[in-house]
Amino acid sequence: MPSSRFARHLAAFTLALALVCVPLSGCGRKGAVGAANAQDSAASASTSSGSATNSSAKPTASGGPAVVAPASMLEPPAYGGFEPLPCFTYHTIDPKLKNEIAITPATFESELKILANLGYHSITARQLYEHQSKGTALPDKPVMITFDDGWRNQYTYAFPLLKKYGMVATFFINPQPIAGKYRGYLTRDMVLALAHGGNDIESHTWRHLKATRDRTGSADSFQRKNMSQLTLANEWIRKVVGQEPVALCYPFGYYDLETIGMAQRAGYRLGFTVEEGVADARAWDAFQIKRFTISNLETTASFKRRLLSGVLPVRDIHPAPGSRVVGIDATVTVDISAMPAGITDVKLSSGPGLRNMHIVQRRGHTYAEATFHKAKVGFREISMRGTGADGRKYYASWGIVLGDLPH
Ligand SMILES: [Zn+2]
């Protein structure tokens, strides 16, 4: 409900629609990093959506495009009831910076120092799952350090530093290049050594193919291939490490509800995105867990801002997170009525094409709204960001697929 107090504050907002390109930072073999990583961003984990029982494809507040019904997403926790779990995504740790998502060992160490000095305790994806499913206690101030893609430099440069600071990480690996002994990737023995060192070995699928269906091929053939990508990774990890993975990291960050459904059927219990933001340790959004992708544009200050960032309490997001949208001119609508007073500089952004951001009042609620215009078909990350009166950053982010598949 839009209090007039809120409306007054709203007037102060700079609701700009930034065409921030978010090329799915992480996970890309090519390593482009979203502008999101550039300065201070951070984002948050407040992917709202319909609740488990509220999962029908209701029309958007603005009568926007029809969406595929979300199947398994939960209502986010009440604002204030959040158990913050910042998760950081690393790719290449190497003295030579080969791309934006490569950082030096010295930078990695400086970030570990920040975490240690601020009293954070590293936990793994498996610990998160046990906390979420069995209520197993987590240490104070939990943080997750994750590595994607299984590069050998993660073993060479990051593992010794993790040990030095008494921290553990979650390694999302693609077993195919490891089993094939590809140059530059972890070896089987390195994977084992990481696991024996207390680290968590989880799945990034067998060989890093996109886990969302496109317009080529039939649904059946996609599902067969994708399921085998998921299960082959499971089998290899179980065989080598002795434990079935619980977590899937989506290649390139691409997923939709079909991907989530298949991940669940393959036995996964958590899904990690490259959508920026602080996750919730209760993992209410178990298959849309947020992570901050670390790049070499990161500064000590921006790292701390991400670590300490808050969640924008957005609700009633349409099109729903994880949905496929018919057409490419979708209107994105977010209920921001619950946003606390004093948050300014709120921006709604996505890839090129999301335009005309404006605020509307409808049925007693306040919505931020913008429309994709001739956007590219495919997975799109959408972020909202704001700044608190004390300079603290607040974020919400989610993903949708533009351009539904033919029936
Ligand atoms: Zn990846």
* Structural domains present in the chain: 4-28+44-73+311-402 (2.60.40), 84-307 (3.20.20.370)
What pLDDT does residue 81 have? 64
Give the mean model confidence (pLDDT) for residues 86-101. 96
For residues 369, 86, 89, 240, the Cα torsion angle rounded to the nearest 10 degrees is -130
Cα(284) to centroid of ligand 1, in Å?
23
For ligand 1, a single-atom ion, the residues with CB < 5 A are 27, 148-149
Is residue 70 scored above 70 in pLDDT? no
Cα(212) to centroid of ligand 1, in Å?
14
371-384 residue pLDDT tens: 998 888 889 999 99
Cα(127) to centroid of ligand 1, in Å?
22
Residues 6+ apart with CB under 8 A from 232: 175, 176, 206
Reported as type and span, the H/E element at residue 333 is: strand 331-335
By CB atoms closer than 10 A (0-12, 13-18, 19+), residue 106 is exposed
What pLDDT does residue 352 have? 66
For residues 330, 336, 337, 338, the Cα torsion angle rounded to the nearest 10 degrees is 140
Cα(208) to centroid of ligand 1, in Å?
6
Whole-structure pTM over 0.95, yes or no? Answer: no
Give the mean model confidence (pLDDT) for residues 221-234. 96
Cα(134) to centroid of ligand 1, in Å?
29
